[in-house]
């Protein structure tokens, strides 16, 4: 892996913000169209499929910029951190009154 080609932290944050932004945009769109759609079973599955598809795409993209090979541990760490950053972004936008 050549560390001069990319910045790991930048890629994680960029991927997390992209995943969080897509999730927030999807939720806000459905909320504005019809709030009752948010409790439908297919909305949860659609949201899960979009999120997991985007995480897989980001993993493939990260593998290609890191030299074409990525171990399972590094791929898992990257995906976990992307989902964690996405969670932080989404929770900062949603109602956080505890």
Tokens (6 digits) for 7: 């910045």
Mean model confidence pLDDT for the chain: 86
pLDDT for the residue numbered 1:
46
Q: What residues of the chain score a pLDDT lower than 70? A: 1-5, 94-98
pLDDT digits (tens, 9 = 90+) for 56-72: 999 999 999 888 888 89
Residue 95: which region, alpha, beta or left (left: phi > 0; alpha: psi -120 to 50)? Answer: beta
């Amino acid at each position: 892996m050549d560390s001069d080609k990319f910045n790991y932290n930048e890629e994680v944050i960029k991927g997390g913000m992209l995943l969080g932004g897509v999730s927030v945009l999807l939720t806000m769109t459905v909320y504005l169209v019809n709030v009752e759609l948010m409790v439908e079973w297919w909305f949860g599955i659609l949201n899960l499929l979009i999120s997991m598809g985007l995480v897989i795409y980001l993993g493939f993209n990260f593998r290609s910029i890191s030299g074409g090979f990525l171990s399972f541990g590094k791929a898992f760490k990257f995906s976990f951190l992307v989902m964690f950053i996405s969670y932080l972004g989404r929770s900062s936008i949603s109602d956080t009154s505890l």
